[in-house]
Amino acid sequence: ANPIRIGVVGYGNLGRGVENAVAKNPDMVVAGIYTRRDPGQLQPLFAGTPVFSVADLHQHADRVDVLVLCGGSKDDLPVQSPELAAKFCMVDSFDTHARIPEHFAAVDAAAQAGKTTALISAGWDPGMFSINRVMGEALLPDGATYTFWGKGLSQGHSDAIRRIPGVAGGVQYTIPVEAAVDAVRSGVRPALTTRQKHERHCYVVLAEGADAQAVHKTIVQMPHYFDEYDTTVNFITQQELKDNHSAMPHGGFVIRSGNTSAQNKQVIEYRLQLESNPEFTSSVLVAYARAVHRMHQWGMTGAKTVFDVAPGWLSAKSPEQLRKDAL
């Protein structure tokens, strides 16, 4: 069979992750990276990967099977996903949870009109965690679902710290509170407040002459971001930031705890421990690109989510092979 030709739209952390992930899947190739920047200035990970301007995409409809959109959820995907779904099969990782319904509607209208298959909000959260939340609820209707994140670097919270006057650099890690995780795992279904579930740990480089106490206070009192959490602030040097905080780890757990009878508790746990959030997210996107390619060949058009994809469609193996190997 011909390899599935993947177009990578946007070349940041996820874009590089997709290039890496495709290299691990022999049934796929990267047909091209498509960027809004000058393609001549981008250095792909692998010398053979062609780089084009995103403006060239419209002439490349016969060179690409599925686009993997790697733009940001805030400003890029709300524009790019509906625009490209009109002409191309695609997968995105849109993760602004509250806006998923409107994003779905916009992409669905474009995909229905263009008879393409467009899967939104793949990745791990939303994505793999969402699947596990749905399965937990379906299998244990008398129960409670808990999602814990971390230890992980939060891009949004790190950005919020860096915007504070007097801060020259910094990162924020979200860390699940161990006592809360233990209580949930025991099956007692505790009611937990925001503060009881996660802590926030900040590593901050001060600008010259900045007042450490004032920066500390601004961070821990920042509404929405930090005020509802127990937050610790550690001041470090620029060198320490570079040496110890350049990776993008993340992960967490989805736990469903329920009762199937008065006497029997059941606990389901799905856990991710990721050294690189973008590389893992991209690996998920690429598996969903395979499913999208199949779904389009079967005439399943319109917008889709991870809930609409059967697990076997993600696999490079045939249904026969999967029944032998994995059942």
Site residues, ligand NDP (CB under 6 A): 10-15, 35-37, 54, 70-73, 76, 93, 95, 123-127, 277-278, 281
Smaller CB separation from ligand NDP, 35 or 158: 35
Q: Which amino acid is at 49?
A: T
- What's the closest the beta carbon of residue 71 comes to ligand NDP, in angstroms? 4
Q: Which is closer to ligand NDP, CB of 100 or CB of 322? A: 100
- Please report how close the Cβ of residue 265 comes to ligand NDP at its closest, in angstroms: 30
Nearest approach, Cβ of 155 to ligand NDP (angstroms)?
Answer: 7
* Cβ proximity to ligand NDP, 124 vs 225, nearer residue: 124
Residue with tokens 């467009």: 118
The least CB distance from residue 154 to ligand NDP, in Å, is 11
Comparison of 19 and 65: residue with beta carbon closer to ligand NDP: 19
Q: Which is nearer to ligand NDP, 156 or 299 (CB)?
A: 156
- CB of 5: closest distance to ligand NDP in angstroms? 19
Q: Least distance from C-beta 122 to ligand NDP, angstroms?
A: 7
CB closer to ligand NDP out of 54 and 206: 54
CB of 126 to ligand NDP, least distance (A): 5
- The smaller minimum CB distance to ligand NDP, of residues 43 and 194, is found at 43
